[in-house]
Amino acid sequence: MTGDLCSIPGCGRPTAYSAGKGRAAFHCRYHVQRKARHGSYWCATYRAAELRPYVVAASLWLAECPQQGAVGAAVRELAHILAGAGRVDPAMNLRGQPASYRARVAFARLREAGIEPRRLLAIYLGVSALIEDDLGSHRTREFKIVQAAKAVHRLASGTHRSWEMFNPLGPDIHTELHAYPRSSGLVLRKIGERLEKAGEFLAPEALPKVIAMKTSKRGPHPSHLPGWRPTWDTRPH
């Protein structure tokens, strides 16, 4: 039956409920998992190269702003989050922990990596500006906070250790361990909510200026150029 197929245009897969793979009545398992990872059923995560010009513009805008007022309050809010995040728990120990705990550890890892609150604020504003400037983006709150969370999560996401293992038959063996927490699900929403709480009152003033600064230095977003078509538009040219 048509009603048992995923509601995303062009998908054609059965819904997770009808396939016995979940309770989603309108989307297939693939698109449910895609939303958990990206914050949208159809819009993918932005690449670092797409996001960087907007983060740079946001950083320049923050540098030009007075350190008091809304900017100072947002920076202090993020500094408080980092300072109160507690100790860093290795990524190997996070499996099975609540999303709120894993989000706290993510901020603790950012603090230990030396990430400044102002940089986190610039990333949140840069992500918000990119979504606003991209005509093909999914302009929902969930997509925005997930994209901001993924961008900061990439700054210090894993546990990395190395040691020398004794080898009785020869030289010691160099051993390395690299573990990364899963960048998906509720934990991204928890991280994004904290970023949003700090920066949401700045966004109405900041975004038009950040977009203008980015456009003056790097040109308009590709979606503003003649002939652009969104990725979901599969009609023949």
Band (pLDDT 50/70/90 cuts) for residue 236 is: low
Whether the predicted pLDDT of 87 surpasses 60:
yes
What is the model's pLDDT at position 94? 78
What is the model's pLDDT at position 232? 66
What is the model's pLDDT at position 16? 93
What is the model's pLDDT at position 151? 95
Stretch 91-116: mean pLDDT: 89
AA identity, residue 28: C
Evaluate whether 125 touches 210 at the Cβ level (below 8 Å). Answer: yes
Max Cα separation, the chain?
Answer: 68
Evaluate whether 126 touches 142 at the Cβ level (below 8 Å). Answer: no
pLDDT tens for each residue of 49-66? 999 999 999 999 999 987
Q: Where are the domains of the chain?
A: 1-38, 45-222
Q: Give me the residues paired with residue 187 across strands.
A: none
Evaluate whether 23 touches 16 at the Cβ level (below 8 Å). Answer: yes
Q: What percent of the chain shows pLDDT beyond 90?
A: 67
Stretch 126-146: mean pLDDT: 96
With CA atoms as reference, report the closest residue to 106 among 51, 141, 158. Answer: 158
pLDDT tens for each residue of 1-28? 446 899 998 888 999 999 998 899 999 9
- pTM here is 0.88
